[in-house]
Structure 1
């Protein structure tokens, strides 16, 4: 069969911006290796895409909806008071500008779609199931949406952190189904890729037969491989633990630092903090209060492309975040051979099942501090377990989550749709 001809919608698609933009970019680039693609993305991504050598030879179409996106972004930033908080508010306000993006794409490509120049349309970003698609109801060819990710509730024990994250607007989320184009998005979609059980529950029951489990996270083997591993794993050197992420309330990084700093057993080892944010001052105070300034190092932000180098040097990735929809950094740690210590809630708990790391049960902050401390102490006292878990983590990440592998797993679904065959779930991500 000839290569599928795919129009990819990727509003968020940027090699230098972390989280969703880089995920969208990596997935789109890998799909281009297996399909004839045109990637429609926002004009804001132009500079970073064009200077990246990996984008050479790929057809990017830059769409300009700044006439509405710019004023809404300014208003959203003012209302939220920060770019690192009130994500539900940001998503609500983004609705009109995203519809304008798809409207501009439709104006540009409706002729080509109606003339049969593409076999299907695949919207890979945005990934929120609350963001409707205008094109889903217009496309004359099969429409694929996802991987979607969303619908993870705030744990009851962390309502204070929800307030600090300015997430009061989350209560309005239930009304997204009444937005224009929302019902048609799922009804008209030929295939829905959804991430993890929490997202699958958000798909309308009438459309779940078209939904398959397909997590959105992935990793670049060139950046997160294991070839340069230098961990202690029971050797004479101190163990090195690391937290990587935004220092914001939802990540509850204080749990990781308190667990490390309050342990006499861990006093011979080291903890690294990579990231920055409003919690920095509180974290430094925790370290100083416990007299562990020589054991804890704050590195601030590092470039995305260097995160893999850090993970290859670390023995354990300690990530107590309590509301992770996808947790791409967890897969990156697993691929790099760095054993994850995660909260058993949402995506991290799913990824780290089956002895692929340490899963710490959700509880109050004090309860989680104790549980994370016990897990890290167990790791340094039983290094053979650390090695076993690292090997299990790599064995899970490599065949399922390398970007090219994920793209290759996507193509058979495209072929089924193009040939009119019934869709069946072809890959087990458990």
Structure 2
């Protein structure tokens, strides 16, 4: 059996006490550190739990994230304002490390968006990039309703241009020994660059599946739908509410909504206008424990986000054995199939709501199908989402990377 590999990991945005990208990067490094010797280059935010404490099995080299970027939190979340400074700092750290140490592979885990060059491109060490996601366009017929989004979110339209013409980004991709992407659309975006070294792998994972409360469908007084997500138009909550208004005859339906944002009040008013406010509970921003409780109580997960690069909540819902109603677009369109749920084509708002309503009606009227899809959800997450299996796959990718000719690094062997 091969000995542990020496891995140089880069993840400027990583924090197990945070959510989203930072939390996903933390899980990758945490799980990888149980199987290899990991040196991590990262940024840390003042006041947060130290990464050396969060990741006791990892050698952490970090720099502080500048305080000024925290004043523009939403912009910073998308544009990664501190990344240029981190890039040059990391490049210097790698140069110093390689004077006395060797690494079998480098891997830059974050940022997940495909718009940031990697400092690893300047060195001969073989390296992996990703999992990449994001840069999806808003479907044409939904753009008008998305105009209220923050101005800077529209800059993602430049991503494809940069992939084609940015020399720093192109050099990073060209020099990578392997590129990970969350869904086939990433490979399409990367074009010829990724043809021979692209691997499908979500940035998400679960340690185990969970049990939810179930009872005989005939004994239940309600059928509970669940939507979990940030309150923005693209997450599809408005479309679920419109779908409910088309199901007035199904008195058993109730929708639980977890999350908050600029879209929340719009959806609240829409529910009143459409006469379904008494069938919806807006829980707002709630704790992890409360969200888990909603998963336990739900009968199905309705999350028709129409610009979702991957979807952490999709993985969470699958781990609870929930049938999924999702958009046939982006990450969910790749993950969900007819063994575990319904994929709804993103057409126009009216037809989209009608198709969502049809899927909900099918689940309510066919309890045996609901049970079958629940089993399929568990099977799906066990196949693609368990961390142990994901790390097995990643280590196999590492071990099959070919070193550049004449390089002084020694590949791990049996």
From 167, 171, 179, give the equivalent of 2:157: 171
Once the two structures are TM-superposed, the CA of residue 99 in structure 1 deviates from its matched residue by 2.9
Once the two structures are TM-superposed, the CA of residue 298 in structure 1 deviates from its matched residue by 1.1
In structure 1, the partner of 2:21 is: 20
Residues 364 and 10 of structure 1: CA distance in aligned 2, closer, same or farther (over 3 Å): same
From 204, 218, 231, give the equivalent of 2:205: 218
In structure 2, the partner of 1:111 is: 96
Once the two structures are TM-superposed, the CA of residue 399 in structure 1 deviates from its matched residue by 2.9
Counterparts of 1:241-390 in structure 2, within 5 Å, are 241-304=225-288, 306-390=290-374
1:205 aligns with 2:192: yes
- Which range is displaced more, 267-276 or 171-180? 171-180
| Conserved? CA contact 1:113–1:140, under 8 Å | no
SS in 2 for 1:325: coil
Residues 396 and 233 of structure 1: CA distance in aligned 2, closer, same or farther (over 3 Å): farther
Cα RMSD, aligned residues only: 2.5
1:42 aligns with 2:43: yes
In structure 2, the partner of 1:60 is: 60
Once the two structures are TM-superposed, the CA of residue 333 in structure 1 deviates from its matched residue by 0.5
SS in 1 for 2:48: helix
From 176, 179, 182, give the equivalent of 1:192: 179
Give CA-to-partner distance per residue, 1:75-104, whole Å, 9 cap, x none.
xx3xxxx82x797xx43xx36x31321321
| Conserved? CA contact 2:43–2:86, under 8 Å | yes
From 98, 105, 129, give the equivalent of 1:145: 129
In structure 2, the partner of 1:392 is: 376
CA distance in 2, matches of 1:219, 1:404: 9
CA distance in 1, matches of 2:235, 2:47: 31
Counterparts of 1:226-241 in structure 2, within 5 Å, are 226-227=210-211, 229-232=212-215, 234-237=217-220, 238-241=222-225
Give CA-to-partner distance per residue, 1:131-163, whole Å, 9 cap, x none.
111x22222311111111134222111111342
Residues 192 and 254 of structure 1: CA distance in aligned 2, closer, same or farther (over 3 Å): same
Contiguous gaps of at least 5 residues in structure 2: 406-414
SS in 1 for 2:180: strand
TM-score, structure 1 normalization: 0.86
TM-score, structure 2 normalization: 0.89
From 86, 100, 111, give the equivalent of 1:101: 86
CA distance in 2, matches of 1:46, 1:99: 22
CA distance in 1, matches of 2:47, 2:35: 23
Give CA-to-partner distance per residue, 1:189-231, whole Å, 9 cap, x none.
111112211110122414421222222222242xxx233x103
CA distance in 1, matches of 2:124, 2:284: 48
Contiguous gaps of at least 5 residues in structure 1: 422-430
| Conserved? CA contact 1:142–1:417, under 8 Å | yes
- Which range is displaced more, 249-258 or 305-314? 305-314
Residues 163 and 47 of structure 1: CA distance in aligned 2, closer, same or farther (over 3 Å): same
